[in-house]
């Protein structure tokens, strides 16, 4: 019963994009005749995931107070549908792992990676039932493995298989959203599940075990992605800059208030306290520039998917990077 309650708490509805309309429709809204900006004329349409809980983070940390612009929120099950919404202009901004921008770029989506933070590798994992005979990644050969297509877990799984001398042809991938994947693992319809926190924490507390986490397999960066058209508006871009600063300060706050965050965010998101605390205690929240090392690592993600023929053709990641906000890290 507890597992079902956790499942219900973590199951996220389909994106509420019909209720939102991105800010990209008017390239001049909020920009005064003299070139200055009026942020009171800006509305940023923001995407969120329960695993990220960005809205809760801004509220609990106090960074949602006194916003000079308006915000509207939409909730998504994972990164790929969020980036589809950004490309469609339904939302302006959202946070994802390393793989969704690659799949969006391969689809020639109108997106830009505008910010990044180290979210920690321990919160990404391949989980199996506690009594599973799978003891080593090589044991995944021939197994049914649940994963969300185009998600950071997709790349983690690819990395695990590659390091074990396996390919996607050696397994039976089951492309499922997290809620469906949890149900499949719980009922034995899949042998393993590759996912991210808080779903990893949920799986562990439901009696499953971690086969491998992300350490040694992935560079644990998460990205803030913005619509290209949104950034084409000077006022919107100024609001995005302000938002990135608030997120960075919120990350600093959460680092020193992990237990407090777990209690308060649990009340907001519905994700149980013990699940949230386990996830947050092993997470990082370290903002850093979109530097050459970060861009090179993301290009490696793109190349890995391309080489595995999991995306069409090659992707040049620099075409989907906007480094204008890197100056936030200069002294």
Query: 45-54: per-residue pLDDT in tens?
Result: 999 987 678 9
For residue range 257-271, what is the model confidence (pLDDT) as tens digits? 999 999 988 888 888
Q: What's the chain's average pLDDT?
A: 90
pTM of the prediction? 0.88
Lowest mean pLDDT among 159-163, 166-170, 177-181: 177-181
Backbone angles phi, psi at 226, to 5 degrees: -130, 150
CA-based nearest residue to 72, from 80, 64, 83, 81: 64
Q: Give the pLDDT band of residue 32 (cuts 50, 70, 90).
A: confident
Task: Tell me the average pLDDT across 124-130.
Answer: 97
For residue range 288-329, what is the model confidence (pLDDT) as tens digits? 999 999 999 999 999 999 999 999 999 999 999 999 999 999
Instruction: Write down the pLDDT at residue 12.
Output: 38
Instruction: Write down the pLDDT at residue 105.
Output: 96
Euclidean distance between CA atoms 142 and 170, whole angstroms: 6
The tokens 């560079």 sit on which residue? 219
Instruction: Write down the pLDDT at residue 201.
Output: 95
Strand partners, 43: 70
Task: Tell me the average pLDDT across 70-87.
Answer: 94
């Amino acid at each position: 019963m507890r597992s079902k309650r956790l499942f219900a708490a973590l199951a996220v509805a389909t994106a509420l994009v019909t209720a939102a309309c991105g800010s990209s429709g008017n390239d001049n809204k909020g920009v005064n005749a003299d070139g200055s900006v009026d942020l009171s004329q800006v509305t940023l349409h923001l995407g969120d995931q329960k695993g990220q809980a960005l809205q809760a983070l801004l509220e609990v940390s106090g960074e949602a107070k006194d916003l000079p612009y308006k915000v509207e929120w939409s909730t998504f099950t994972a990164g790929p549908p969020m980036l589809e919404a950004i490309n469609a202009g339904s939302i302006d901004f959202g946070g994802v792992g390393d793989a969704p921008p690659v799949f969006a770029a391969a689809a020639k989506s109108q997106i830009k990676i505008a910010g990044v933070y180290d979210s920690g590798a321990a919160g990404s994992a391949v989980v199996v039932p506690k009594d599973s005979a799978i003891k080593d990644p090589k044991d995944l050969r021939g197994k049914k493995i649940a994963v969300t297509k185009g998600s950071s877990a997709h790349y983690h799984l690819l990395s695990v298989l590659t390091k074990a001398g396996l390919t996607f042809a050696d397994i039976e991938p089951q492309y499922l959203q997290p809620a469906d994947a949890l149900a499949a693992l719980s009922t034995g319809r899949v042998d393993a599940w590759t996912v991210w926190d808080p779903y990893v924490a949920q799986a562990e507390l439901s009696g499953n075990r971690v086969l491998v986490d992300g350490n040694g397999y992935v560079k644990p960066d998460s990205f803030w992605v913005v619509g290209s058209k949104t950034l084409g508006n000077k006022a919107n871009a100024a609001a995005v800059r302000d938002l990135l600063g608030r997120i960075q300060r919120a990350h600093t706050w959460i680092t020193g208030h992990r237990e407090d965050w777990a209690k308060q965010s649990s009340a907001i998101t519905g994700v149980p306290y013990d699940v949230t605390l386990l996830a947050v205690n092993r997470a990082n929240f370290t903002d850093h520039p979109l530097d050459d090392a970060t861009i090179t690592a993301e290009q490696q993600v793109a190349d890995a998917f391309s080489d595995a023929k999991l995306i069409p053709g090659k992707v040049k990641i620099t075409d989907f990077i906007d480094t204008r906000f890197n100056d936030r890290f200069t002294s």
